[in-house]
Structure 1
Amino acid sequence: MTDPAVLTAKLIRCASVTPSEGGALHLLQGVLQEAGFTCQRVDRGGIANLFARWGAKGANKSFGFNGHTDVVPVGDAAAWTHDPFGAEIVDGWMYGRGATDMKSGVAAFVAAAIDFVRDTPPDGSVILTITGDEEGEGKDGTLALLDWMAANGERMTHCLVGEPTCPDEMGEMMKIGRRGSMTAFFTATGVQGHSAYPHRARNPLTALVRLLARLEEKPLDAGTPHFDPSTLAITTVDCGNPANNVIPARATATVNIRFNDLHSGASLSDWLCREARAVEAETGVQIALRASISGESFLTPPGEFSALIAKAVQAETGRTPTASTSGGTSDARFVKHHCPVVEFGLVGKTMHQVDERVPVAQIHQLKAIYSRILRDYFA
């Protein structure tokens, strides 16, 4: 049997901080090729990615797993109790950057896939898409893999993303969609002047404060059947002004919006632009808007696929997972254009933290869940 905890430890010891590959994908390629998987490195823009398939190309049933081996920086290494790349096990917990997000998830589905195709070869194929760019911008990660697959006639019929999905207890939540995410950058340009003579200036901060108040004045919506209400958060306001008696000529503000399926990046951009134009007319201050859309909201409607995953999770944990769309973005936002996608993985409490860690028993439990999903899918 392939031990997912041993594989997790080996992956943690690869210092694969985005965009460095750190040896993690090289390690997985060797393990998968030895197990009979056809592997292809799909590197783009300085980012390393790995495609692996067992079974025939273009099979009628092709189950896919998606995950990432890149990790966020460790931060203050001196604040860690254990070496962030040491994979030390203490009191049943494995410590290390990526232990939760998500080298354990990758190890669990790699181990499950290897043992499954060896012991019960399916009538179909198993595909693994593993990226080194999930924690970065994402444009050369899973997107590169999906572009390569489209160009080479490779296709998954369904995909499971192994991101951590459970808030507190193993098995309590899976993700059937995600909110959209966008950031709006405002630049207000007025007229500089002495603070004792405000009538001779045109204060960009006054305009920005008014605009931000308008944006926060009322909720964007009340939520939808599968999504919580959309949220808008002001994340920064700045003018770089060191003088307390000078009205600045320029000021900036940033707003982050997490939105449900009542909106799109385009519709929200139009709304933000209309509000900015209204404040321009009121104040005479010019306000420029630049919007960056990280991902649109999406939903995999509850059905046979999500039910199959929920059944496997319940069988292994005793809990029936809630179908949620909460949290931030993930690479499922790219996969959803390719095939139906659901996310299920570990408890994510310590991800990105100092002393990130995972219970070793949970890694084995996750492998058991993924193994059952594969058996039920191809049954």
Structure 2
Amino acid sequence: MSEVLHLARELIARPSVTPDDAGCQPLIAQRLRRAGFACEHLRFGEVDNLWATHGEGGPVLVLLGHTDVVPPGPLEAWASDPFVPEVRDGSLYGRGAADMKGSVAAFVVALERFVAAHPDHAGTIALLLTSDEEGDAIDGVRHVARVFGERGQRIDWCITGEPSSTAVLGDLLRVGRRGSLSATLTVRGVQGHVAYPDKARNPVHEALPALAELTARRWDDGYESFPPTSLQVSNMDAGTGASNVIPGELRVLFNLRYNPHWTTARLEAEIEALLARHGLDFELSWHRSGEPFFTPEGPLRAAAREVLAAFAGAAPEESTGGGTSDARFIAPLGAQCIEVGPVNASIHKVDEHVRVADLEALPDLYLALIERLLP
């Protein structure tokens, strides 16, 4: 059994459903200390974070990952226990195999090989892990980035091990992500009997024109390689459940995935002005998941393009699609960020898996990236 497959199995066997690390980070820290890394455990609330470094000065290259996983769902739906790793038909099965314990295991093996071959390497190589990526993302990398900002911790380049590939390992290079802004809109009316609408005020009726305008609006035409900004309503509820009662309140949940054309402050101001223009009696509660980030041409993208082309057999697609990742918290520190990882076809699904051949190639891929950036 290969070293990376063995470590990935060890990590999958730890049921680290967010925000529980379940012992993954102590296992990794023990290995990296033996390799000469300085390890710092940063625990905030119920969240474990690991910061491991080797070398000194700049440039600073960070490998970023998470040890937490999403819940497995109904166990009977899995072909095998999600926390008992199993190799079948050339793939490793288990919760977190692709997202992202496979990448974390590959990070560790690549780091061990790098410092063994280059003990006096240039700059600093680091690993940052959290157990709060799949959950609220409050006390994980978001909190660590705030601490780093206070310390003046320099980060030049960041490689996140999210499963970015689509069909073949290395066929896609993530060079940015959209921002995510969520809102809870409460529209107040006056409850009453449906037979006497003159004695009530229906918040659903009052809100519909504003919601129609919000959902029909074209926010922009995209930004460089980013798609246009999108607003999607995800939940609506009102009423008592009775068919003869006008509700007194409507609650609407919506989310915007937006490109660098916007900031959260501008989006919030635009939406609040629109709702006010419709004369609604409303409250808005915002949750800012993260601003968009984009890595322009430079040493990081050039190195990644060259390495991924060698592994995939063709130049990778360079994309800003998908949801969000923890790189959104590292980018504001001044770092250039990319995402490189295995095929994402089974992430968050029943019978999550990663091809063993891809898993065993990942340490070499990450090692090649590190050696090009920190010779």
- Change in CA separation of 1:141 and 1:119 when aligned onto 2, cut-off 3 Å: same
Please give the alpha-carbon distance, in whole angstroms, between the structure 2 residues aligned to 1:203 and 1:51.
53
Please give the alpha-carbon distance, in whole angstroms, between the structure 2 residues aligned to 1:331 and 1:197.
52
Deviations 1:132-176 (A, max 9, x none): 111112121113333444455643321111111122322121111
Paired residues of 2:239 and 2:248 also in contact (CA < 8 A): no
Q: TM-score, normalised by structure 1?
A: 0.95
Paired residues of 1:165 and 1:175 also in contact (CA < 8 A): yes
Residues 1:16 and 2:16 are matched in the alignment:
yes
Pairing partner for 2:369 from 353, 361, 373 = 373
* 1:303 Cα offset (Å): 2.0
* 1:3 Cα offset (Å): 1.6
Paired residues of 2:83 and 2:94 also in contact (CA < 8 A): yes
- What is aligned with 2:248? 249
* 1:131 Cα offset (Å): 0.7
- Change in CA separation of 1:151 and 1:14 when aligned onto 2, cut-off 3 Å: same
Paired residues of 2:299 and 2:373 also in contact (CA < 8 A): no
Please give the alpha-carbon distance, in whole angstroms, between the structure 2 residues aligned to 1:293 and 1:321.
31
- What is aligned with 1:345? 341
Q: What SS does the aligned partner of 1:48 have? A: strand
Please give the alpha-carbon distance, in whole angstroms, between the structure 2 residues aligned to 1:245 and 1:353.
42
Residues 1:286 and 2:269 are matched in the alignment:
no
Count of paired positions? 373
* 1:52 Cα offset (Å): 0.6
- Percentage identity across paired residues of the two chains: 38
Please give the alpha-carbon distance, in whole angstroms, between the structure 1 residues aligned to 2:130 and 2:87.
26
Please give the alpha-carbon distance, in whole angstroms, between the structure 2 residues aligned to 1:249 and 1:13.
50
- What is aligned with 1:27? 27
Deviations 1:321-366 (A, max 9, x none): 1221111110010110222111111111111111111111111122
- What is aligned with 1:109? 107
* 1:286 Cα offset (Å): 1.0
- Change in CA separation of 1:315 and 1:272 when aligned onto 2, cut-off 3 Å: same
Between 1:153-162 and 1:91-100, the stretch displaced more is: 153-162
Paired residues of 2:342 and 2:358 also in contact (CA < 8 A): yes
- What is aligned with 2:164? 165
Q: What SS does the aligned partner of 2:165 have? A: coil
Q: What SS does the aligned partner of 2:50 have? A: strand
What's the RMSD between the two structures over aligned residues? 1.6
Aligned positions of 1:29-44 closer than 5 A: 29-44=29-44
Pairing partner for 2:72 from 62, 74, 79 = 74
Paired letter, 2:52? A
- What is aligned with 1:212? 211
Please give the alpha-carbon distance, in whole angstroms, between the structure 2 residues aligned to 1:161 and 1:320.
19
- What is aligned with 1:156? 155
Please give the alpha-carbon distance, in whole angstroms, between the structure 1 residues aligned to 2:40 and 2:58.
21
- What is aligned with 2:325? 330
Paired residues of 1:2 and 1:115 also in contact (CA < 8 A): no
Paired letter, 1:221? D
